[in-house]
Structure 1
Amino acid sequence: MKITILVLALFATLVSTNVVKPHSDEFIKIINEKQSTWVAGRNFPEDTPIEQLRRLNGARKGHRNSKVKIHDVVAADIPESFDARDEWPECPSINKVRNQGQCGSCWAFGAVEAMTDRLCIATNGAVEFEFAPEDLVSCCYDCGDGCDGGWPSEAWSYWVQNGIVSGGDYNSNEGCQPYPSEAYNNGQTPRCESQCTNSQYNVAYNQDKHYGVKSYGISRNVQQIQAEIMTNGPVEASYDVYDDFFDYQSGVYQHTYGEYAGGHAVKVVGWGTENGTPYWLIANSWGADWGQLGGFFKILRGENHCSIEDDINFGDPEV
């Protein structure tokens, strides 16, 4: 019995010593040796706890929008590449990358970013209203648990039913409810406020609210998703994240190495092909310094890679 225990203990020790620490030099080297469509590098300090990074992935699965939009698609009308930033230059918000900080609020950021763009597009650039993630994170109780994650589809439903006020990034002092310190720095869900937290903003909370008319999901069909984006603007997508994604720098991401790290929500702004590999063009919400594309990234298109085409949410703004 003692010999068996000793052998098992030795085996466990050998296994543990062979585990490559995520985001270490060796981990990044393995990624770059295993594939060629994207480049990995360090975006976070090597000593950043993996639990801290995984907490950024706050998109939950299981809730789907019952309203499914269907486009009458003509395949020949879908261009080989499309970039909403170029299609609607009058809407600078499309090119903006926001930062959720330490809060697992990606589900809210992906939503308000797309809402902001869609309202601008629907008004031909006349309305540049930046929706506040704080209003969703703190007040949408049906959405989930604020900084501890939520369902993107519920964020869009909340927009239609309750409206959302304006609010810029942390330390921006912009809009009714700028992103607060407790969420950005401490990862804590802010208290729901039915008033503007920015004392310098001169519009009342209830008057500042902007609404959606309808919210939708869409089928797991590439052309349907493309038709929606090129017609009405960016959409929110949820997908599975693995440890290697945190180290993305450039190229077309494909999961290569590492364990499952949670669900993430982002804003899809277009598509294209790079060196023969089709991709979706996406804005992340980890700041413009993440990666080498100014906070944007590309991920394999057409194979529902990491479930990227499985849960798409969007809506029509009230204009």
Structure 2
Amino acid sequence: MLTGTLPPDEKSLRMHPIKLHYDEEQLPREFDARSKWDHISKIRDQGWCGASWAFSTLSIAQDRLAIASDGKEVVELSPQNLLSCNRRGQQACNGGHVERAWNYLRKIGVVPEDAIPTQVATQFPMNRKELYTTEPAYRIASKEGDIMWELMTNGPVQGKFIFKII
């Protein structure tokens, strides 16, 4: 199950990558995002829950928010909110689609971790004031330079391996 990330659906596979314009000669041989941005989030433990689809999506979203705001908006988003509420085609700790997680985050949003701590939650506070949303997800080409440029310019990226049985 790739730690909980399910294969992309046909619509996602047909998504055309955006065009990035950069000079490949300007790409450094090494780059550490933690050196450029000191507010990059720490790796979180998803335990035995197969929910990399939720944890990775929110980690990238909160890092990019912190980067875009120049460190003025640093928040830890609640994977439990996404696991418990994003049910359309998702299987919580038994796997999910990153594309659907991004779509949920764009259309509905999630609360900070302190509002719904990560655990098996049974009920949520009804007076949520803060919902964090994002712009639509986009795809970049699988070229190494494109991934490097995106990472250096906008922050962490989410990658998936697609295996095909021949």
Q: Verify: 1:229 aligned to 2:151, yes or no.
A: yes
Structure 1 vs Structure 2 CA RMSD? 2.2
The letter for the 1-side match of 2:149 is: A
The letter for the 2-side match of 1:70 is: K
Using the aligned pairs only, state the percent identity.
30
Paired with 2:146 and 2:99, the residues of 1 have a C-alpha distance of 18
1:195 aligned partner:
125
Q: Verify: 1:72 aligned to 2:21, yes or no.
A: yes
2:57 aligned partner:
111
Q: Verify: 1:157 aligned to 2:103, yes or no.
A: yes
Could you say what secondary structure the match of 2:161 adopts?
strand
Please report the TM-score for the alignment, with normalisation by the length of structure 1. Answer: 0.47
Mark the CA change 1:76 to 1:143 in structure 2 (over 3 Å): closer, same or farther. Answer: farther
1:137 deviates by: 1.0
Mark the CA change 1:158 to 1:68 in structure 2 (over 3 Å): closer, same or farther. Answer: farther
Residue pair 1:143, 1:152 contacting (<8 A) in 2 also: no
Equivalent pairs counted in the alignment come to 161
Paired with 1:118 and 1:237, the residues of 2 have a C-alpha distance of 15
Paired with 1:56 and 1:217, the residues of 2 have a C-alpha distance of 20
Pair member with larger Rg: 1
1:69 deviates by: 2.3
Mark the CA change 1:143 to 1:77 in structure 2 (over 3 Å): closer, same or farther. Answer: farther
2:116 aligned partner:
177
Please report the TM-score for the alignment, with normalisation by the length of structure 2. Answer: 0.87
Paired with 2:16 and 2:130, the residues of 1 have a C-alpha distance of 27
Gaps of 5+ in 1: 1-54, 168-174, 183-189, 197-203, 241-305, 308-319
Mark the CA change 1:140 to 1:111 in structure 2 (over 3 Å): closer, same or farther. Answer: same
1:214 deviates by: 2.2
1:195 deviates by: 2.6
Deviations 1:20-57 (A, max 9, x none): xxxxxxxxxxxxxxxxxxxxxxxxxxxxxxxxxxx771
Could you say what secondary structure the match of 1:237 adopts?
coil
Higher strand share: 1
Mark the CA change 1:159 to 1:71 in structure 2 (over 3 Å): closer, same or farther. Answer: same
1:139 deviates by: 1.0
Paired with 1:141 and 1:61, the residues of 2 have a C-alpha distance of 16
Paired with 2:4 and 2:103, the residues of 1 have a C-alpha distance of 18
1:293 aligned partner:
none
The letter for the 2-side match of 1:97 is: I
Deviations 1:173-208 (A, max 9, x none): xx111101x3xxxxxxx55x5536xxxxxxx42x21
1:142 deviates by: 2.7
The structure with higher relative contact order (CA 8 Å, sep 6+) is 2
Could you say what secondary structure the match of 2:136 adopts?
strand
Residue pair 2:50, 2:95 contacting (<8 A) in 1 also: yes
1:67 deviates by: 5.9
